[in-house]
Amino acid sequence: MNAYETRLEGREEVAEGTTAFHFGKPRDFSFKPGQAVDVVLPAAAGTDPQGIRHAFSLVSGPFEDHLTIATRMRDSAFKGALKALAIGSTVTLDGPFGALTLHNNRARPAVLIAGGIGITPFMSILRQAARDHLPQRLVLLYSNRRPEDAAFLAELQELEQRLENFRLVATMTRMDQSTRTWAGETGVIDPALVNRVANGLPQPICYLAGPPRMVEAMHKLLNLAGVDDDDIRSEDFYGY
């Protein structure tokens, strides 16, 4: 991996408890949609040397002139240091790395299954797909507890309107705890929902991203639905 110095340009809340951080894009930095970087904070930002580095998928598409990550703002040394980082501060990015990138056979659709903050690599993929007018059929199954927790939901709904070959299926599992109205799917992702969404798609390849337990459960679910392991690609989000 290569190391690049850059600066924090801004931050914004993209869901309750979830913040996006925007960094300048180094001139010679290139990556594929779906890849990740290690964010290394200045040594003074944390007392534990192991606590100043964390891996994040890139939310931004390769065509964008900045690099964006997004994370749940949990109570950890790294998240505290990242939250406290002043705008303009220098950080180091190591990468890119990761293989959660779209397959090259555009005739085969992609079914993207995201739980919570696992949406981040798929945002990069979908933003670039919209930019490139990608002819490949893309379906996103996106599970959250409530609409308030669903990062980038409004952007995804807008992308569905713009991108002819993209379909969004968002589901909420705890609407009893929400103050918003929701007309979409509710409940967990189950075999019936997967089969309904994938019905008519020729030989789709499935991509999974989210908390490890969710990814493991979805992998088993896809196997039970008859999807071969060779057609499943996944990435776990530890501690996000």
Q: What is the pLDDT of residues 53-108, one digit of tens each?
A: 999 999 999 999 999 999 999 888 899 999 999 999 999 999 999 999 999 999 99
DSSP H helical segments within the chain, as ranges?
Answer: 77-84, 120-132, 153-162, 191-198, 212-224
Half-sphere exposure in the Cβ direction for 85 (13 Å, CA):
29
CATH architecture of 110-236: 3-Layer(aba) Sandwich (3.40)
pTM: 0.94
CATH 3.40.50.80 maps onto the chain at 110-236
Q: What is the DSSP letter of 206?
A: E
What's the rounded Cα separation, in Å, for the pair 214 and 24?
32
What's the rounded Cα separation, in Å, for the pair 74 and 18?
9
Confidence bin at 199 (pLDDT 50/70/90): confident
- In terms of Cα–Cα distance, which of 191, 195, 185, 130 is closest to 156? 130
Q: What is the pLDDT of residues 111-165, one digit of tens each?
A: 999 999 999 999 999 999 999 999 999 999 999 999 999 999 999 999 999 999 9
Q: For residue 29, what are the contacts with CB-CB under 8 A and spacing of at least 6?
A: 4, 67, 93, 96
Asked if 165 contacts 128 with a C-beta cutoff of 8 angstroms, the reply is no
The per-residue pLDDT for 225 is 83
The per-residue pLDDT for 48 is 56
- In terms of Cα–Cα distance, which of 213, 131, 191 is closest to 166? 131
Q: For residue 143, what are the contacts with CB-CB under 8 A and spacing of at least 6?
A: 113, 114, 115, 116, 170, 171, 172, 173, 188, 189, 210, 214
Confidence bin at 49 (pLDDT 50/70/90): low
The per-residue pLDDT for 45 is 52
The per-residue pLDDT for 75 is 81
The per-residue pLDDT for 104 is 93
The per-residue pLDDT for 77 is 87
DSSP H helical segments within 64-174, as ranges?
Answer: 77-84, 120-132, 153-162
What's the rounded Cα separation, in Å, for the pair 164 and 130?
9
The identity of residue 125, as a single letter, is I
Distance of CA 1 to the CA centre of its chain: 21
Place of tokens 């379906």: 139
Fold annotation for 2-97: Elongation Factor Tu (Ef-tu); domain 3 (2.40.30)
Q: What is the DSSP letter of 86?
A: P
The per-residue pLDDT for 238 is 54
* Residues of the chain above pLDDT 70, percent: 95
